[in-house]
Chain A
Amino acid sequence: MIGIVIVSHSPKVAQGTAELAQEMSQERVKIVAAGGVDDETIGTNAERILAALQEAETEDGVLVLLDLGSAVMSTQVAIEMLPEEKRDKVTISEAPLVEGAIVASVEASLGRSLEEVNNAAVEARNMEKLT
């Protein structure tokens, strides 16, 4: 079963999204938040993301869901800090953060592969809400 890391500029958004996703997975999936520069400061922090990647690490890989901008760069830096053989097991998702995290956590809880979970999470952006 894959692990999931949630990266946001806001520590509260990351934490809240991780909690929501965890509720969806019924505690079956390892979901770790890595938001903010620290618990109080808006921004992103490669070392915090690295720690989250290590905590969420599984044999089946880790999917990173993030908001935007420097979250991508900081995550790429964090992945570079991993031992080489572990870098291939981390995928940064193009999915929208909250919707993607909800879908990814359910799909991950079913034991689906990193690629399958990521594909479903990316598709979440096309989910209609108002019709």
Chain B
Amino acid sequence: MEELEIVVDHPAGLHLRPAAMFVQTAASFDADIRVRNVTRDTAFKNAKSSLDVMSLQVSEGNTIAITAEGEDAGEAMDALRGLVEGGFTKEE
């Protein structure tokens, strides 16, 4: 299983468009991907569900933890890391 902790620097956190992009990116992989808000100490939620991701209430500066399990877990992690670190500018 792949694991990653990363700070969300986007001013909008993981709400609305960044949340949508996060879910759309996660859903493009077969791996089981989970995410939690470390700063708020939430439980892990399904990264492929918009409701789950928005319910984490990730604000600017919060740290999130992502886990991925499955054949393409490594690629999924790279894509999600790139999305968050790149400030959610990725065009798909």
Residues of A within 8 A of B (CB): 23-26, 102-103, 105-107, 109-110, 120, 123-124, 127-128, 131
Contact = CB atoms under 8 A, between A and B. Distances in A.
Given A106-B23, A123-B51, A127-B55, A24 B92 contact: no
Interface of B: 16-17, 19-21, 23-24, 27, 48-51, 54-55, 57, 92
A110 B48 contact: yes
7 contacts: A24-B16, A24-B17, A103-B51, A106-B19, A107-B49, A110-B48, A120-B49
**Chain A contact residues, majority secondary structure:** helix
B15 to A, nearest CB: 9
B57 A131 contact: yes
A103 B21 CA distance: 12
A71 to B, nearest CB: 24
B57 A106 contact: no
